Structure 1
Amino acid sequence: MSATRSLHWSLAMKEIAATRTHRPAGLLAAQGLIRATSAKRRPLVVAGAYDRAAIMSAAIAAARVHQTRTGSTWGEALSVTLKATWALAKAARAATAH
């Protein structure tokens, strides 16, 4: 048996690029839910700074809904909703800066 393994760099780089652009399941739904509920009650950005407590509470509230909708684990649900919440917070901060 040979101890070497062939590797096609072009295929490997395409697979790496495909995983980077992949959106987790439910990301857009989580953003819509956060935008409609939690983010309106308590702003994610206050005076140009991120309100981490508001971001975390919005993500947790959305994770509960996401978990019941998709049947995913708590870790997966919280991961998706944290990504969605931070994306909304970054967009809100960029909008207030301009």
Structure 2
Amino acid sequence: MASTRSLHWATAMKAMQADRAKRPVGLLAAQGLIRATSAKRRPLVVAGAYDKAAIMTAATAAAKNHQARFGCTWGEALSVTLKATWQLAKATRAVSVH
């Protein structure tokens, strides 16, 4: 006899929601800080190419602020701000190409 497997819609939806990537704490705040300060002083994209030194400088400066604000470790703060900085750089490059 074949065994049957029941599927509960609510349980399946909760499992799908749990699998989605969660936004790190402070990501949007880091993007706003980088957009307002570092990215204006030194552009993240120059002539259609990423300026990796500018990206790292902006992320490091924002990570200091992020660590003080959220009380996380340096590694977590740098991870969040690097993600935010690269997202801004990619968006800037996409706009400049088109």
Q: TM-score normalised to the size of structure 1?
A: 0.83
Cα distance, 1:16 vs. partner?
Answer: 1.6
Query: Is 1:53–2:53 an aligned residue pair?
Result: yes
Letter in 2 for 1:26: G
Alignment of 1:1-40 (within 5 A): 10=12, 12-17=15-20, 20=21, 22-40=22-40
Identity %: 74
Q: Please give the root-mean-square deviation of Cα atoms over the aligned residues, in Å.
A: 1.5
Cα distance, 1:41 vs. partner?
Answer: 0.3
- Correspondence for 1:95: 95
- Correspondence for 2:74: 74
Letter in 2 for 1:87: Q
Could you tell me how far apart the structure 1 residues matched to 2:42 and 2:85 are?
A: 12
- Is the radius of gyration larger for structure 1 or structure 2? 2
Q: TM-score normalised to the size of structure 2?
A: 0.83
Could you tell me how far apart the structure 2 residues matched to 1:43 and 1:91 are?
A: 12
Could you tell me how far apart the structure 2 residues matched to 1:42 and 1:78 are?
A: 19
Structure 1 residue ranges, 4+ long, deviating more than 2 angstroms after superposition: 10-15
- Correspondence for 2:4: none
Could you tell me how far apart the structure 2 residues matched to 1:13 and 1:69 are?
A: 32
Give the number of aligned pairs: 88
Letter in 2 for 1:48: G
